[in-house]
Structure 1
Amino acid sequence: MNLDETDQTRIKRIAQTLSEVSNLNETDMFILLTLMKNSKITNSELAKILDFKDGNSAAYHTRNMQKEGLIDRYTIVPNWKRAGLATEFIILAEAEDEEQLLEIEKEHVIMADEYSSTTGEIVVTPTISGCVILQNVYHCFGDKTMAIISGRATSDQDAAVYCKNYLVSKYPDIKISLLLNKYKTVDEFFIDKNAVAKLKELFQIPEKEETSDTLDKLQGLPSEDR
């Protein structure tokens, strides 16, 4: 995935905005965002975009971010649908009170520790017709006390089986809701242009030559005097 001049300009604009409120300067933020979009871009290509003398200058910024823990690791983004795990799901597990969720969290930590020691770091739960693989497990405290589980499954049915047969039976006092993700317009911080194009066709949204006021609605927050 090569970055054209339009992509470069837009990433630079976003990097400038984020650098004003973060711990990174504009150059480091641009490199970080660019690597997130295309981790295969070379230091020479980065240097050319940033008008550096050579690739060593870009490598210097990247190494510094690695040393400071800003870049944890490089990874790939699999196409899970083509790999056979077509269903993306989110499960909301709501507890009646904080103590109940803490007990579940404690049990989950023990299970995760034992699983990683004996089986591996990727949690896979077999079902009758396939399997479920966990992506994230969050323990949330705020307006509601709940755990949020996200992952992939071989089918909608397998996700439902995992949710209803496994979680409900294991934690009978917890209110559990299953959500199946069908469209993701923002994917890992980046707008999914293919999904937006499909949804525009679905909703019969015409192409516009001029920017509408929807950007103001997306980016603007209500002021205190409203």
Structure 2
Amino acid sequence: MNDIKTDRIKKIARLLDDFSNLDATDAHILMLLMENSKITKTNLAKVLGFNDGNSVAYHTRTMEKEGIISKYSIVPNWKRVGLPTEFIILAEAKDEEQLLEIEKIHVMMADEYSSKQGDVVLTPMISGCVILQNVYHCFGDKTMAVIVGRATSDQDAAVYCKNYLVNRYPNIKVSLLINKYKTISDFFIDKHALGKLKEFFQLTGTGKSAETLETLQNLPLGD
């Protein structure tokens, strides 16, 4: 990890110290682990300026006991897995009563699926499959469910949306969004995508909006 990046993470850690329940050291360790959970305690100690990994181990154990670190995970490269399409479905209810009815159906279906199939929701499609990553139940200015998942293709995501939401719940407003790239991913700015976008806008100038957007959607910016 280069010095510039380390200094920036340290700066953010100090800000978290001011506004969160973490002190600067814990925040620094947490952010380094979020970026790479495989980093060794020895390497963490070097970045933090500790003599050895024992001090790092003390901080990580404390955060684990306090529930700040709930688990260590990985981030798959979904394109290489064979699920390149990331989709977001917005299912908007017209009122709270309708949303509650949908919520009840969802809970019953999820419970039945879990008891029979397991805890990972994977739906086979004609040409591939869809796997759900997150389902958010949102209340605020609008009441809606937000479904985030991965699919083997844009078409599979569209078919899933139609068959499992539009056709089942004809009275709710459903919008399917296909994510083409991220400029911020899991709290960190994606420098690769940002660089490509800066280059793109410098080269394209002020062309026709429709053509520019179409080209933008097909830029190789993802993982």
Q: TM-score, normalised by structure 2?
A: 0.88
Q: Name the SS of the counterpart of 1:196 in structure 2.
A: helix
**Which stretch of structure 1 is more off in the superposition, 64-73 or 108-117?**
108-117
Q: In 2, Cα distance between the equivalents of 1:156 and 1:94? A: 21
Q: Name the SS of the counterpart of 2:132 in structure 1.
A: strand
Count the aligned residue pairs.
204
Q: Name the SS of the counterpart of 1:203 in structure 2.
A: helix
Match of 2:13 among 12, 15, 24: 15
Q: Name the SS of the counterpart of 1:178 in structure 2.
A: strand
Q: Name the structure 1 match of 2:39.
A: 41
Q: In 2, Cα distance between the equivalents of 1:121 and 1:19? A: 36
Q: Name the structure 2 match of 1:153.
A: 151
Q: Name the structure 2 match of 1:216.
A: none
Q: Name the structure 1 match of 2:212.
A: none
Q: In 1, Cα distance between the equivalents of 2:83 and 2:2? A: 32
Q: Name the structure 2 match of 1:87.
A: 85
Q: In 1, Cα distance between the equivalents of 2:197 and 2:51? A: 43
Q: In 2, Cα distance between the equivalents of 1:82 and 1:28? A: 34
Counterpart of 1:145 in structure 2: which amino acid?
A: T
Q: Name the structure 2 match of 1:181.
A: 179
Q: In 2, Cα distance between the equivalents of 1:31 and 1:155? A: 37
Match of 2:163 among 162, 165, 168: 165
Q: In 2, Cα distance between the equivalents of 1:83 and 1:106? A: 33
Q: In 2, Cα distance between the equivalents of 1:58 and 1:145? A: 43
Q: In 1, Cα distance between the equivalents of 2:67 and 2:80? A: 32
Instruction: Give the C-alpha shift of residue 152 in structure 1.
Output: 0.7
Q: Name the SS of the counterpart of 1:105 in structure 2.
A: helix
Q: Mind listing any 5+ residue stretches in structure 1 that lack a counterpart?
A: 206-226
Q: In 1, Cα distance between the equivalents of 2:96 and 2:46? A: 53
Q: TM-score, normalised by structure 1?
A: 0.87
Q: Name the structure 2 match of 1:4.
A: 2
Identity value in percent: 71
Q: Mind listing any 5+ residue stretches in structure 2 that lack a counterpart?
A: 204-223
Q: Name the structure 1 match of 2:132.
A: 134
Q: In 1, Cα distance between the equivalents of 2:178 and 2:7? A: 35
Q: Name the SS of the counterpart of 2:15 in structure 1.
A: helix
Q: Name the structure 2 match of 1:57.
A: 55
Instruction: Give the C-alpha shift of residue 196 in structure 1.
Output: 1.0
